[in-house]
Structure formats: structure tokens, C-alpha cells
Structure 1
Amino acid sequence: MIINSKERLETVLDAQREFRALHGRPVTEQFYREKTAACWTRARATPAYRDIGDYSWASLTALPVTTKDQLKADPWRFGAARLDESTKYYETSGTTGRSTPTPRLAADIIWNTVSVASAWGEVIGAGDRVINLLPSDVVPAGDLVTSVCEYLDVPVARAYPFATGISDWDRLATLVANFEPTVLFLSPGVALQATGLYLRRGQLAELSRSVRSIMLLGEVCVPALRTRLGQWWGATALDASYGSTETGTLAATCQAGGLHLLTAANHFELAGDGGPRPWTAPGTGRLVVTPLNLHARPLLRYDTGDEVSLSTGCDCGRVSPVVTVLGRSSDGQRVRNGTLSPHLVEEIVYGATTALGYLVEIDRAGTGFRLLLERSPEADRAGEEASVSAVRAAFRDRAGLDCDQVLFVNALPSTTKSGGSLKNWKRSNFRVVDTW
């Protein structure tokens, strides 16, 4: 986050004042009216929203949602600034189709950084040392982590283990030994791959010695996997954040492990059969968001396509709702008379076994499926039969489905291990086969 002008410094101070004033307090409708009016004005400068008319709260709530498909079809129609005015340029990972160009102005970066730092500052701070194992090119996750650490004055080292010629698993082990990080930021897929590799090498106990927190982002991460990673590393594993390249960060963790919607930076709605409605009580639906601080590409009532569940009463005491991301609405896969979703499969796999990964295979007719599990190097093979029984029972109890076969294998295809904004469930953990 480069502050090289009075204007940018004033933006930082404005963001600080706004988020500090709202920290721990309910956000009022008046605040949303004022912020969405400014969003509306910025949006009217774009071809996509040019004809929406004058702002009113009623006009906003009646505006049709902006869909992901609309944005992907012509992202430049939504731009409010010239490309040469942008401070950074990103693209989406393309896991749901072709990638979407996403330039960002300094204001976009500053507001998002300060918003996330206001949440993460309760989890990381003085005395911490961070290793950032997220990709640093094209997608913004790695830059976000580094910017927040710089803002919080926490030392950070970047070491994406797939940066060919720069960083790999051997280099990472040396870096951890020298830097002694207290916090790791990485995707769940990379965390599983690192865990398996260092277990096989007999290095995990030593490398995890200084680590107290594992901050997971870039993919949906279920509680069972966080618990399992915490056990392997002797640390607390947290769902660090949730968001997208298009919207910026929508939720961030608290000390108690709740993933809280950033209600001071976004206006949220839940979409169900009756269309989007402002969030007022616990419920489940598709998340629709109006980010309040997007400048390069303002979005109004953007349908994320993500199925979520919202709840209250987190042990941390925050009043903002806790979000559980159930996955993209397109991720569910019908099998016989039931549906397999990432959340369901991963809760079962990581809750009932010590597997380091999985692959779902389904026959072309959709009449049956089997599950391949990558065994942990420390696992007792004598206990695998009991794990298989537990997995099959869980699918029957929770999904009404009989899993035709559960097999433990020594290694799964490398496609199941992609991580850090590159993961698409159907592409990486799902395979259609003729027979097994």
C-alpha cells in the first residue's frame, strides 16, 4: 500500500476514522443510505449503470441484481476509471469461466486494507512474524495480506511455494527455520500439501514449533479441516477472510474463529425464492452485496453466486453476523436423489478421517459415486476400515446417499492440490468416470 501523496494519506485517515467509529457497533440505515448514495453516483459514471436514474433508497432496493455472468460478459462496461489511472491491475482466477479484468485505484486498495486490518488487528499484532504463502501475481490475495501486515507494522515474508526458481518446499523449510513465524497465511489446499510433505520428511514438528496461528483463505474451508490442521500444527487455524477479486474482502475472522461480515464496508442482502432482502436475521441464501468503497469499478447489488448461512451470537461479542460459506450455487452435484456439495463432502472427509485430500468419482449416469482418500503418512492402516465405515455412515445420515466405495490411496492427482485462488471444486476434486 503506497502512500505517496497528501490525498492518499487523507484517504487512509478517513478510512481509519470511519471503521473505528463503527467498530463493535451496529451499522445504521442512515450510514448505508449515505454510503450507497455515493456508490450510486460513482456507478452512474459507467456504461453499465448510466441509465439507473437518480438515487433513492427505494431505487436501490428495486434495482435488479448485477450477476456474475453480466460482469464477466463485458467487465469494461462497469469501469468508472481509465486503465491508466489504476494503481494495480488484477484478474480473477477464472475458476467459474474466463478471467475478469479488475483494475484497482489507490482508494480501492486503501479502504479494503484498512477494513480488513480493523478485524485482523485483533488476531495478529505486536510480537508476531508472518509468512505469506499466497500467490503474488494476477490475483490480489497475496498483496492484501502483505498490505495489512505493513499497515499493522507486523514483519512479513512472502514465500509462495510454487514460484518456480524462487521458492519451493526446501526453501520454505529454511525460511521457517530462520524467520520463526508465529502466523502462516495460506490456502487450505496449500496447507494440506505442506502438512503431508513435511510429515513425510519428518520435519513438521520442528517447523511448526513457532507457529501459533494458521490463517486460511482463498478457498472454502470447513470447520473440520480447520480443526484437523490445528491438530497437525499445534496451532489455532482460522478462516481468515472471504471475498472475491471483483468485490474485495467481504468477511474477516475474529479471535473466537468466527468469520464476520464486514458490515461497515459492504451492504449485504440474502437472495432466496422471493429475491434479495437486506439481512435482518439468521438465514440461508445467496449473498448479494453492494461494496461501499469500490471506485475503479463500483458494483450495485452484485450477486456473488455463493450460498451462505448467516448467524449471530459469536463468542467474541461482535454484533456483525457470522457467515458460513457453503460454496457456489453451481458447485452442487446431483447423485441419485441427493446432492454432493463441497461443504458436505469436506466436513465428512476431514471430520471422520485423517486424510490429506480427497477425490470424488461419479459415473456418467449419476447413479453412484466413490471416494478416494489420500492417507496421512502417520496414519495407522489398521484403522482404515473403521474410517471407511464412518465415512459411509456420515453420507447416509447427512445426505441420504450410499457411497459405493471408499478407498485410501498413497497419493492423489496433483490437480486436487491446487490452492490459493486457483481452486474450483468440480475441476480439482471431482471426476466423471465410465467405471471403477
Structure 2
Amino acid sequence: MNQPHALPELGQWSSLEELYELQDRRLPAALEWARASPFLKPRFEGTSPPRNVAGLAGLPFTTKQDFRESYPFGMLAVDRKELATYHESSGTSGEPTPSYFTDADWHDVTTRFVRSAVDISPADTVMVRTPYAMLTTAHQAHQAARLRGATVVPADNRSLVTPYARVVRTLRDLEVTLAWCLPSEALLWAAAARAAGLEPARDFPALRGFLVAGEPLTEARRARMGELWGGIPVRQDYGSTETGTLAGECSQGQLHLWADRFVAEVYDPATGRSAREGRGRLVITTLYRRAMPLVRYDLEDTVEVSSAECDCGWHLPVVRVLGRSAGGVPVGGVRVTPHQLEQLVFELPVEHGVLFWRARAGEKRLEIEIEAFQGHSAAACAALEVTVGIGLGVPCEVRSVPAGTIVPLETLTRGHGFVKPKSLFAPGEDWDKALIYY
């Protein structure tokens, strides 16, 4: 079995300058591992690998297209006998990309994950509600929770076995203390709980926190989520299938890059330059990855990175993730982003009850639909039209639609049917469902 690396722990350095020295010391060994990758080896032929982080600028980026063209094992830098798991991304921005880990690589990922201010312990029951399948998100949370001795509830996501009604029942009956999920899930669970006659802020007293990832999250939506569930904290994690967790949240509510485990660059497409901080696309080079070392991997995510010191004492760069959709869409000459709209929607007063919304860009006008509590539709629509007009400078039309329009009530309330293929049917049963999962 591949043995865990000697990994740096939080608190081993007293400043960012000392952290960057750690990166420079570790980089040559990491690049030596990278030379074993069939994809990366040609990039080092005929030249000496960089001896420090500054030298990385002379190497080309690794792109998602490179992953696809190297499918399945063109990036593999170890013997296949050393692999622990193989994964593929969801394909949000195109064809899925492959990713693989040794046991030692997983030790790196899980020990990063458990750094979060959520502080998982053996007393916790952790619901894992991101996709297991071929993604890494659920697997890293599952392994990290077990590393800390917690009980895991593997609820999966978009699963026939665990529809929202069952998630709500499980949260309550098993006294789940922590939930790992997409931010949207916390809103969907709140709606499903109310559909079941429960109140999220009252009827789930064991739940002490959400750990969320997978979507950019505005402060307004984060605040609404916590408020819905009785004021519990909502902590972010940030990463990808190719990398595992890249950043986690500290006790001060800041999202920090795990820059002791990889080198982070911020690439500005407008100038072609990279820096340690600023706004641009996040590019990373791994320092401890064996199965699939990454050298200047462009995640295509727009971020803002700052080296300002944080009161938590971690001495790690702070990152704000704006997402791949940060460019937005044009409306009447103004570029509107999902981040901007989400912030305005969830700044609406909580008594309007708006959890679900959707928007569509027209040539000259933005159309927005919301689901609001009965009796609050007119006020919510009027308020949002004003804030969008003033805040974004675009004309818009806001309509309130009946509850169940954006998220059907059946989605929130239906139970799980049989979830194995069936071949033998009783009289009166629909045998057209043979061998189909329901």
C-alpha cells in the first residue's frame, strides 16, 4: 500500500513568507514526481525543471482539454497497482475529466478537508449529501468523517433511494449533527421539511452546522440558510474532482487556500501574467500528489485571492470564489452575473419567504420569477425590481409564480419507490416498468 506522505500541518509556519519558503523547498520533489506522467514528461525534456515557484511561469498550463485528450491514464505517474480509486468529473464545462488517487493521495485530501472550522468529532453524525458515483466530493467527506471517528450517513445526491422527504426524515430521526451538501440543498430541505409539517429552525435540534461546496455562495444566501435552520453556521469548502478540497473556512468565516499542499497562482487573461494574489483564474501545482501530479492546472474558476493576514492565525491566503459563470450574460449592454442576482434575491426580507428563483436574460430586459409566501408576492416583486434596477442598472420584470412552479411539490414530498429492476409483476401491475429503476 502507498504510504502517507510527511505532510505539513497548520501552525508549522508563522507567516506567509515562511509558507512560500516551504513551497519552494517542496517544489523540486513534486516536479520530479510529475516527470513520470506521460503527459507531463515531454514538458521537462531538454530543460531543467524549475527550482522554485517563480520558475513555474515558464511552463505551459494544464487544461481540462488536456485531461480529456489524455483519457483515461495519460496523466498517470505511478504504476496502476498503486491506485486506490479512479474518478471522473461531472462534465459541467464539457466532457468529463479523469482523476485518480493513491491511498497516500487520499490521506493528503482528507487531512486537508478536516481542517475546516466545523471540527468533526466522534460525537458527530455526518450526512453526506453530494454525489458518490464517480465524483470525489462524497468520498472525501466520507473518509474525512471516518478519519475523525464520526458516524457517516451516506445519503448521496439526486438518488432514487434518498428523495428529499427521506432526507428530512433521516435528518430528524438519526439526529444528524453535520450535513455536507450543495448550498441549494439546505434550501430544498427547508422547503421539504415545511411540506412535511416541520419547522427547520425548531424540529432539528441536533443539527449544528452545514458544510457546503459545489456552487458559488453569496453572503446573503449563506445568511438566509443559517437563519432558516435556527442560526446554525454554514461553512464553505472549495475544490474539484481533479484536486479534492482546495480551500476551507476558518473560525473567522474566511475561506483559506490550502497553500501548504499546493502552489496557487492567479492568472489574469487580460495581461497574461500570474501572481500570488488578485483577481483572475485559479491555477494550481500540487506538492504531494503522486498518482496524478498537476503542474499549472487552470481550473477555469474566477477567484479573488488576498494575502491579508487573518485573525484565525492560519497564515494562509484568503480566497473568494466567483465561479466559472462569473462572466455572466449581457442584458441591455450590462453584464449580469448569477452572483449579483443571488445576493439581491436573498437580501429580500425573510418574511417574504423567497427560497427559489430563476432568471432569463432578454436583449433589453431581465425576466425574474420568484416563489414567495402567500400575501407577500406584490411586495417581494416590487422590492426586487427596485434593487435590481438600482444595483445592476438593468430594466427587469419580476413575477411571482405559484409555489411548486420552480421546484415542484412532488419533488419535495414523494417517497422512494422500488429501486431495483423488476421482472415479475402481480396482476394489475404495470409490467412496462420491467428492468427500469424507479
How far residue 259 of structure 1 moved from its aligned partner, in angstroms, is 1.2
- Alignment-derived partner of residue 55 in structure 1: 49
The question of 1:277 aligning with 2:271 is answered no
Distance 1:334 1:266 in 2: 35
Structure-2 residue corresponding to 1:383: 376
Closer, same or farther in 2 for the Cα pair 1:331/1:70, shift >3 Å? Answer: farther
2:330 matches 1:334: yes
The equivalent position to 1:301 in structure 2, one of 288, 296, 304, is: 296
TM-score by length of 2: 0.83
1:122-141 to structure 2, matched below 5 A, reads 123-125=119-121, 127-141=123-137
Structure 1 residue aligned with 2:36: 45
Match of 1:111 in 2: 108
Between stretches 260-269 and 43-52, larger displacement belongs to 43-52
Name the residue aligned to 2:94: 97
Question: What is the percent sequence identity of the aligned residues?
Answer: 26
Task: Give the C-alpha shift of residue 230 in structure 1.
Answer: 0.6
1:402 is aligned, of 386, 395, 409, to: 395
Question: Which has the larger displacement, 32-41 or 139-148?
Answer: 32-41
Q: Deviations over 1:209-266 (max 9, x none)?
A: 2112111112222111111011111143423310111122110111232211111112
Q: Indicate the structure with greater helix content.
A: 1
Structure 2 CA distance for partners of 1:173 and 1:407, relative to 1, 3 Å: closer
CA distance in 2, matches of 1:171, 1:409: 24
Q: Is the 8 A contact 1:357 1:412 kept in 2?
A: no
User: Is the 1:370–1:403 contact (alpha carbons within 8 Å) kept by the matching residues of 2?
Assistant: yes
Task: Deviation per CA, 1:8-34: give whole Å up to 9, x if none.
Answer: 3xx16x23xx22453665343332123
Tell me how far 1:329 sits from its aligned partner: 5.2
Q: Assess if the C-alpha contact under 8 Å between 2:327 and 2:335 holds in 1.
A: no
Cα distance, 1:41 vs structure 2: 1.3
Aligned to 1:257: 253
Query: What does the per-residue CA deviation read over 1:356-402, in whole Å, with 9 as the maximum and x for residues that have no partner?
Result: 22211233xx3322011133xxx3x3333232232222222332212
Aligned to 2:155: 159
State the match for 1:288 in structure 2: 283
Which residue among 257, 264, 267 is the counterpart of 1:268?
A: 264
Q: Is the 8 Å Cα contact of residues 366 and 394 (structure 2) preserved in structure 1?
A: no
- Residues 82 and 235 (structure 1 numbering): CA distance in 2 closer, same or farther, change over 3 Å? farther
- Per the TM alignment, residue 131 of structure 1 is displaced from its structure 2 partner at its CA by 1.7
The alpha-carbon deviation at position 113 of structure 1 amounts to 0.9
The answer for the alignment partner of 1:36 in structure 2 is: 27
Give the partner amino acid of 2:389: R
Q: Tell me, what secondary structure is at the counterpart of 1:124?
A: coil
Gaps of 5+ in 1: 419-436
State which of 373, 377, 398 in structure 1 corresponds to 2:370.
373
Runs of 4+ in 1 over 4 A off after TM superposition: none
The letter of the residue matching 1:382 is G
Q: What amino acid does structure 2 have at the position aligned with 1:103?
A: Y
- How far does the alpha carbon of each residue in 1:167-206 deviate from its partner, in whole angstroms, 9 at most, with x for none? 3334333422332122111111222211111112222345
Q: Distance in 2 between matches of 1:248 and 1:276?
A: 26
Residue type at the aligned position of 2:12 = L
**TM-score when scaled to structure 1?**
0.83
Rounded Cα–Cα distance in structure 1 between residues aligned with 2:14 and 2:38: 37
Give yes or no for contact 1:327–1:342 (8 Å, CA) kept in 2: no
Q: What is the DSSP-based 3-state SS (H/G/I as helix, E as strand, rest coil) of the residue aligned with 1:192?
A: helix
Residue 61 of structure 1: how far off its partner (Å): 2.2
Find the residue that maps to 1:28 and give its secondary structure. Answer: helix
| Distance verdict in 2 for CA 1:329–1:286, change over 3 Å | farther
Rg (Cα) greater in structure:
2
> Which segment is superposed worse, 45-54 or 76-85?
76-85
Work out whether 1:189 is the aligned partner of 2:205: no
Q: In structure 1, what residue type is equivalent to 2:375? A: A
**1:316 paired to 2:312:** yes
Supply the distance in 1 between the matched residues of 2:154 and 2:203 (Cα, whole angstroms): 17
Match of 1:411 in 2: 404
Whole-angstrom CA distance in 1 between matches of 2:215 and 2:388? 22
Match of 1:355 in 2: 354
Is 1:77 aligned to 2:71, yes or no?
A: no
Question: Counterpart amino acid of 1:107?
Answer: A
Q: Which moved more, 1:232-241 or 1:221-230?
A: 232-241
SS in 2 for 1:120: coil
Give the secondary-structure state (helix, strand or coil) at the position aligned to 1:19.
coil
Match of 1:231 among 222, 227, 238: 227
2:207 is paired with a residue whose SS is coil
Query: Are 1:132 and 1:160, in contact at CA under 8 Å, matched by a contact in 2?
Result: yes
CA RMSD of aligned residues (A): 2.6
Comparing 396-405 with 220-229, which one deviates more in the overlay? 396-405
Is it true that 1:218 corresponds to 2:209 in the alignment?
no
Amino acid at match of 2:75: F
**Aligned 8 A contact 2:172 2:204 in 1:** no
Secondary structure of the structure 1 residue equivalent to 2:396: coil
The residue type equivalent to 1:373 in the other structure is I
| Aligned partner of residue 409 in structure 1, secondary structure | coil
Q: Is the 8 A contact 2:325 2:337 kept in 1?
A: no
Alignment partner of 1:177 is 2:172: yes
Change (3 A) 1:265 1:359: same
Q: Distance in 2 between matches of 1:398 and 1:316?
A: 33
2:8 corresponds to 1:22: no
Cα gap change, 1:127 to 1:276, in 2 (>3 Å) = farther
Equivalenced residues, count: 397
CA distance in 2, matches of 1:175, 1:383: 32
User: Following the alignment from structure 1 to structure 2, what is the Cα–Cα distance between the partners of residues 77 and 285?
Assistant: 28
